Chain A
Amino acid sequence: MKKLTSFLIVLLFCFSLVSAFTFENGQTSVPVQLQNGWNLLYGVLDVETQLASDIANVRVVYAFIPETQEYARVYPNPEVNTLTLIDDDKLANMAVWVYLENYDQSYSNLIIPENSYIEWNARELSPGWNFVGISPEILGKETNEITGNCDLLKIARWDTNDQQWRVATYAEVSNTNIINTQAGLGTGILFKVSSECVLSTQ
């Protein structure tokens, strides 16, 4: 019985390690592969803090407002009137566009603050396209295991190398993983859903 309890504790510990970002001192640092051009990154709303070492290379950041299905500039000169249409924390857990120029590194550390973090299981989506930040909860899971009560119509990934979309229907990818390795963490993916819903993992 003791052995079983110990095993369950270890299992629970291991699960907790991969179930969400691990925060220290109110934040976590996630290595993300970046390239010149458009990159989809997890909730970059405070560029100076979250991409501090690359601020000189960041030309512009845009967020997608799912409620209105339109873009709003986050950096520089944030379009405050449009950005306030969406809850700050919700925005912080979406993927945003970051345009880099003269970037000569292969990856950077993206800072994600703990106080605005929303776990995968509580992410709300709006009808239409949603830019979703990729967090560890979905690592190694099949698409059909991470969609909660959402009626997922399509999925789109941004190919940073080719700077173009890769779009698939839910049926085409329902049994494949969104991410298999840590390399996808801190980036983003697009989900198109038919109605309001909440994501969750099985």
Chain B
Amino acid sequence: MKTIIILGILLLTLVVGCVNFSVDPEIRNGNALVDVRAEGDKLVIESAVDNLLIVQDIKLRADDVVISSAEVESTIDAEGVLEIPIQFQAICDLPEGSEIMIDIHFDFDGANYLVAFNGELFKDAICDEEELSPPSIPQE
């Protein structure tokens, strides 16, 4: 009888443990974990799961060609935001409206995710034209 009770408690603990540590099925979908947007010369990754998520690397693709990539290995901060400087100028030669893919490889809860975001290239947002400075005033 004792053995049955002990086994029962152990079984209950395991079940509760599994329930406690299981991940919401929706969260298993990598796209639900992170959101991404380009701001100036950086990529802003936002996540509701903040410091549980470690971004490993990022790739910028157009027509299946990797144009720019960055190895990051950074943890999303307590605000749920990670800003990563990335070289966007490489895609600024593409025509306005080109389809751009952003691959984000990250770890979460011991699992490895690779999510891809696609979007249109809006040059105004990320392709700052090279700043032109007027000629210096004549020197003495």
- Chain A residues close to B by CB (< 8 Å): 38, 59-60, 62, 64, 69, 71, 97, 99, 129, 154, 156, 158, 163-165, 167, 190, 192
Contacts and interface: CB of A to CB of B under 8 A. Distances in A.
A163 B135 contact: yes
Query: B133, B134, B135: which has the most chain A beta carbons within 10 Å?
Result: B134
Interface residues of B, number: 7
B134 to A, nearest CB: 4
A80 to B, nearest CB: 18
A131 to B, nearest CB: 9
B134 A38 contact: yes
Given A38-B135, A69-B137, A97-B135, 12 more contacts: A64-B134, A99-B132, A99-B134, A129-B137, A154-B138, A156-B138, A158-B135, A163-B135, A164-B135, A167-B138, A190-B137, A192-B138
Is chain A's interface secondary structure helix, strand, loop, or mixed overall? strand
Contacts of A62: 134
Contacts of B138: 129, 154, 156, 165, 167, 190, 192
Nearest to A167: B138
A193 to B, nearest CB: 13
Contacts of A167: 138
Please report whether the interface of chain B is mostly helix, strand, loop or mixed according to DSSP.
Answer: loop
A64 B137 contact: yes
A81 B138 CA distance: 25
A90 to B, nearest CB: 18
Interface of B: 129, 132-135, 137-138
Contact of B134 (A97, A156, A164, A190): A97
Contacts of B133: 71
A139 to B, nearest CB: 24
Nearest to B140: A154
A38 B137 CA distance: 13
Contacts of A64: 134, 137
A164 to B, nearest CB: 8
A142 to B, nearest CB: 22
Contacts of B137: 64, 69, 129, 156, 190
Contacts of A71: 133-134
Nearest to A63: B134
A167 B132 CA distance: 23
